[in-house]
Amino acid sequence: MSEQDSIFEERRGAMTGLAYRMLGSRADAEDVVQDAWIRWRGVEADAVANPAGFLNKVVTRLCLDRLKSARARREVYVGEWLPEPVVDDDHERLHDDLGEDLSVAFLLALERLTPLERAAFLLHDVFDVPFAEVAKTLGRGEAACRQLAARAREHVKAGKPRYRPSPEEEQRLTGAFLVATMSGDESLLRGILAQDVVMHSDGGGIAKATLNPVFGLEKAVRLVLGLKKKWPTPEGATARLARINGAPGIVLSHDGVVFQTMGLEIVDGRIAAVYTMRNPQKLARLNS
């Protein structure tokens, strides 16, 4: 492997993590990294004084280009948009000791930012890139980049994990949620869901899913029981506990094909949010 190849491979994980946080899609992130590879091969490595800065700039600009078309697609997206789930060991390869910054709540907070705010915040606050370099990457003044990051910081505060459950608590609540949803146990549901629980679901207009988030314990219980009755889990389906975007979750499969993931957010001993992915296009990686 050449030195140029080695430099790129050393940066691959960080580049993929940056692109995934920018785009919310692992497939798109990998496409961006591949495009960055083509550009990297087109330069003389010796002529690049700061390879990490150069590659950050390439990936960021490629992501900004993709976000223009992505935003147009999401305006006509059927139902709620959720990021593509990152499951189990895939998460370990992406998090770079920043696992909490892959949480679904955090990624949804990023989604509410403008592309430039998102880029400035991620580069500086998540990947520790100095503002002078952020300015060069975004083609903006350093002061302007500081303002972009500051605005973003305020917006994403709510997306940061507020509570760290113990492993025992995670396992207990995830196992109980699985039993409750598979069996339709109303009493168990009421005992593990928070009063202000939020149920999110993404079917992409392809699979059955709620079009909007469902708020509150009573509506959440009715939703789960209604789904159990109207669209029961296929006979022979299997479920396993997993880590989804660094949080406890469940992966459901049928005939070896993953058809649903559920990521849980736990706060103060209760399940505060459920992120259900049913869009087969966003589950494709799990079946490859």
Q: Please write the tens of the pLDDT for every residue from 160-188.
A: 666 788 889 999 999 999 999 999 999 99
154 in the same domain as 42: yes
C-alpha to C-alpha distance for 65 and 185, rounded to whole angstroms: 47
pLDDT tens column, 193-204: 999 999 999 999
Question: Do 139 and 9 have their domain in common?
Answer: yes
Judgement on whether residues 171 and 155 belong to the same structural domain of the protein: no
Is residue 100 predicted with pLDDT exceeding 70? no
CA dist 101 → 150, 226, 242 (Å): 17, 33, 18
Residue 159 has pLDDT above 90, yes or no: no
**148 shares its domain with 218:** no
- Position 222 confidence tier, pLDDT thresholds 50, 70, 90: very high
pLDDT of residue 158: 63
Number of domains in the chain: 2
95, pLDDT greater than 70? no
234 alpha carbon, distance to own chain's centre:
27
The percent of the chain in helix, strand and coil, each rounded to the nearest 5, is 60, 15, 25
Among 142, 159, 176, the domain-final residue is 159
Task: Read off the pLDDT of each residue in 232-244 and give the average, rounded to a whole number.
Answer: 90
β pairing state of 270-277 and 257-267 = antiparallel
Q: What is the mean pLDDT of residues 74-85?
A: 88
Is residue 239 within 8 Å of residue 246, measured between CB atoms? no
pLDDT at residue 260 greater than cutoff 80: yes
Residues 208 and 228 in one domain: yes
Average pLDDT of the chain is 89
CATH code assigned at 175:
3.10.450.50
Q: Indicate the DSSP class of residue 206.
A: T
Q: Which residue did the predictor score with more confidence, 2 or 266?
A: 266
Domain-ending residue, one of 110, 127, 159: 159
φ/ψ of 274, rounded to 5, equals -125, 130
Region 221-230 average pLDDT: 92
Residue-range definition of the domain harbouring residue 135: 3-159
Asked whether residue 70 carries a pLDDT value surpassing 90, the answer given is no
Instruction: For residues 93 and 194, state if they share a domain.
Output: no
pTM summary value: 0.87
128, 159, 190 — which closes off a domain?
Answer: 159
CATH number, domain of 12, equals 1.20.140
Query: Are 8 and 151 in the same domain?
Result: yes
How confident is the model at residue 265, as a pLDDT? 94
Q: Report residue 280 as tokens.
A: 């087969």
Whether residues 108 and 178 fall in one domain: no
The residues with which 271 forms a beta bridge, in sequence order, are: 193, 266
29 and 155 in a single domain? The answer is yes
> Is residue 96 predicted with pLDDT exceeding 60?
no
Structure tokens at 172: 């207990």
**123 plus 12 within the same structural domain:** yes
State how far the Cα of 78 lies from the Cα of 202, in Å rounded to an integer: 9
Could you tell me if 155 and 172 lie in one domain? no
DSSP code of residue 44: -
pLDDT of residue 235: 87
Q: Across residues 280-286, what is the average pLDDT?
A: 93
Specify whether the CB–CB gap between 288 and 282 falls below 8 A. Answer: no
The pLDDT-based confidence of 142 (bands split at 50, 70, 90) is: very high
Residues 154 and 14 in one domain: yes
Report pLDDT for 98.
44
| Structure confidence at residue 249 (pLDDT) | 95
The first and second tokens of residue 288, run together, are: 């490859």
Cα angle 217, 222, 224 (rounded to 5 degrees) comes to 95
User: What is the pLDDT, as a whole number, of residue 135?
Assistant: 96
The residue with greater pLDDT, 61 or 229, is 61
**Cα 28 from Cα 24, distance rounded (Å):** 8
